[in-house]
A and B are shown apart, each in its own frame.
Chain A
Amino acid sequence: MKRHEFLQMMEELLAIEPGTLSDTQRLRELEGWGSLAVMECMAQVEEKTGILLQPKKIALCETVSDLYQLLEESNQAAV
């Protein structure tokens, strides 16, 4: 999954205006980022890439970029 696709997916699931979510955005400052959004994110990532992100690793992510980094690392580990 390309970075821009990931950002677009996050904007959709958080109901944020397209093109406004930045890499450096802190997750905890996003109003919609809670347990429901975490599960929706896991579901969409798994559906699109086959990678099941680990909840305890998601919990350690501070920013949107950290989350994408986790996806990249999980992707490499799976290869």
Chain B
Amino acid sequence: MSVHVCSHAQICGIASAVPAEVQTNAQRSDDFEPSWIARISQQIGVQERRVARHLCTSDLCYAAAKQLLSSLSWAPDTIDVLLFVSQTPDYRLPATACSLQGRLGLSKHCVAFDINLGCSGYVYGLWIAAQLLSSSRIRRILLLVGDTASRFVSQQDITTALLFGDAGTATALEFDDDASPMFFDVGTDGTGESHLMIPAGGYRQPSQEHTKTPIAYEANKVRSAEDLWMDGAEVFAFTLREIPKSIRSVLASAQWTTEQLDVFVPHQANAWMLQQLCKRVGLPAHKMLNSLQHFGNTSSASIPLAMTTALPSDLCERSLRLLLSGFGVGWSWATVAFLSTPMIVLPPVYLEETERYQPAWLS
């Protein structure tokens, strides 16, 4: 798709929530050789991550949304659309967006649906929200994005166990005639599906005893077919093949040079890969946000989480030329360039396990 311009969407605020429990990579020395932990942690730029035991993504998004709606003084019945972007829904059905509409007390006229995307999910969600605001009578949208990726990785697979953390986020968007245009590039290459996936547990390979059985592929790489499989070299090749093009195309449409750009917020894939990406597009490393050290790769939540943890005062106080790019599982990617206006940015909520939602029907 060529670059798409959306004209009437304003981001009014962003909030995030993470599990209170911290897991450091150094703590994993019972499972992995400390020298390997040190080497990999340095390369991926992750020291510690927030991990959910029983908390769901919806619990994290709910906490972030409650705080954000309260700070914006947005009454629940003024929300026209709730979008929930995640690969870790509460149930196989119904959609978690429906559950969250009920929990948040939103109007019955509220449109609510789930979007199953990971690394590209936040910018994809922004694109859908911006499209709705630009082309319909929708006035307010609540975009809830997050994942509890630590719950779908094998703790014995060093490729993923040291990388992924959990987070949920909430972004409030509103129709605004004067909003600056947003320049989006959105793309897909489904031929890459097998390189980053959970092969079993869906309907093609339903969960069975053998799909749950851990298999040792190499030392330090033990996982079942219901755990995440990631081919790092293929992820890297995809990123270098597609993302520089995507970034250049939105910058060209916005008529911005890399020098004019204030902040680049990429999906927090891993530190080494992001350095390589910056080099390819001629972006100085100091313009790139990095929240990997304390949160790891939080899948779809990583861009808004980085914005709330690494950039809060700037986003609150002034307009910024922002470039956001999400890319990965699918393969799927979405990049956007836009001039932000000062918005509400809240510090992360640290959610305890005891604060998880207990549906009435479960008790």
* Interface positions of A (Cβ within 8 A of B): 35-36, 38-39, 42-43, 46-47, 52-56, 58
14 further interface pairs, Cβ-Cβ under 8 Å (given A36-B43, A39-B232, A43-B236): A35-B159, A36-B232, A38-B233, A39-B236, A39-B272, A39-B273, A42-B236, A47-B279, A52-B240, A52-B241, A55-B231, A55-B233, A55-B234, A55-B237
Please, could you name 12 A-B residue pairs with CB atoms under 8 Å apart, sorted by A?
A: A36-B39, A36-B232, A42-B233, A42-B236, A42-B240, A43-B236, A47-B279, A52-B237, A55-B233, A55-B237, A56-B234, A58-B233
Q: Does B78 contact A (CB under 8 A)?
A: no
A35 and chain B: residue at smallest CB distance? B232
* Interface positions of B (Cβ within 8 A of A): 39-40, 43, 159, 231-234, 236-237, 240-241, 272-273, 276, 279
Q: A36-B43, A55-B231 are in contact. Are A42 and B237 (CB under 8 A)?
A: yes
10 residue pairs, one from A and one from B, having the closest CB atoms: A55-B233, A39-B236, A38-B233, A55-B234, A35-B232, A43-B276, A39-B233, A55-B237, A52-B240, A36-B43
Q: How far is the CB of B205 from chain A (nearest CB, A)?
A: 22
Are B40 and A36 interface neighbours, CB within 8 A?
yes
Q: Which residues of A lie under 8 Å from residue B273 when comparing CB positions?
A: 39
Q: Which residues of B lie under 8 Å from residue A55 when comparing CB positions?
A: 231, 233-234, 236-237
B39 and chain A: residue at smallest CB distance? A36
In the bound assembly, the distance between CA atoms of A74 and B134 in angstroms comes to 45
In the bound assembly, the distance between CA atoms of A52 and B238 in angstroms comes to 10
B43 and chain A: residue at smallest CB distance? A36
Interface of chain A, helix or strand or loop or mixed? helix
In the bound assembly, the distance between CA atoms of A54 and B233 in angstroms comes to 9
Q: Which residues of B lie under 8 Å from residue A54 when comparing CB positions?
A: 237
Q: Which residues of B lie under 8 Å from residue A36 when comparing CB positions?
A: 39-40, 43, 232
In the bound assembly, the distance between CA atoms of A47 and B244 in angstroms comes to 13
A46 and chain B: residue at smallest CB distance? B240
In the bound assembly, the distance between CA atoms of A6 and B279 in angstroms comes to 21
**Which of B159, B237, B241, B279 is the most central at the interface, judged by chain A CB atoms within 10 Å of its CB?**
B237
B241 and chain A: residue at smallest CB distance? A52
Q: Which residues of A lie under 8 Å from residue B233 when comparing CB positions?
A: 35, 38-39, 42, 55, 58
In the bound assembly, the distance between CA atoms of A56 and B234 in angstroms comes to 8
In the bound assembly, the distance between CA atoms of A36 and B237 in angstroms comes to 13
Q: Which residues of A lie under 8 Å from residue B231 when comparing CB positions?
A: 55
A44 and chain B: residue at smallest CB distance? B276
**Which of A36, A47, A53 is the most central at the interface, judged by chain B CB atoms within 10 Å of its CB?**
A36
Q: Which residues of A lie under 8 Å from residue B236 when comparing CB positions?
A: 39, 42-43, 55
In the bound assembly, the distance between CA atoms of A46 and B241 in angstroms comes to 11
**Which of A35, A38, A46, A47 is the most central at the interface, judged by chain B CB atoms within 10 Å of its CB?**
A35
In the bound assembly, the distance between CA atoms of A42 and B233 in angstroms comes to 8
Q: How far is the CB of A47 from chain B (nearest CB, A)?
A: 7
Q: How far is the CB of A27 from chain B (nearest CB, A)?
A: 13
In the bound assembly, the distance between CA atoms of A43 and B276 in angstroms comes to 7
In the bound assembly, the distance between CA atoms of A58 and B234 in angstroms comes to 11
In the bound assembly, the distance between CA atoms of A35 and B236 in angstroms comes to 11
Q: Which residues of A lie under 8 Å from residue B39 when comparing CB positions?
A: 36
In the bound assembly, the distance between CA atoms of A56 and B241 in angstroms comes to 15
Q: How far is the CB of A52 from chain B (nearest CB, A)?
A: 6
Q: Which residues of A lie under 8 Å from residue B240 when comparing CB positions?
A: 42-43, 46, 52
Q: How far is the CB of A1 from chain B (nearest CB, A)?
A: 17
Q: Which residues of A lie under 8 Å from residue B234 when comparing CB positions?
A: 55-56
Q: How far is the CB of B355 from chain A (nearest CB, A)?
A: 38
Q: How far is the CB of A36 from chain B (nearest CB, A)?
A: 6
Q: Which residues of A lie under 8 Å from residue B40 when comparing CB positions?
A: 36
Q: Which residues of A lie under 8 Å from residue B237 when comparing CB positions?
A: 42, 52-55
Q: Which residues of A lie under 8 Å from residue B159 when comparing CB positions?
A: 35
A32 and chain B: residue at smallest CB distance? B39
A54 and chain B: residue at smallest CB distance? B237
In the bound assembly, the distance between CA atoms of A58 and B279 in angstroms comes to 23
In the bound assembly, the distance between CA atoms of A53 and B233 in angstroms comes to 10
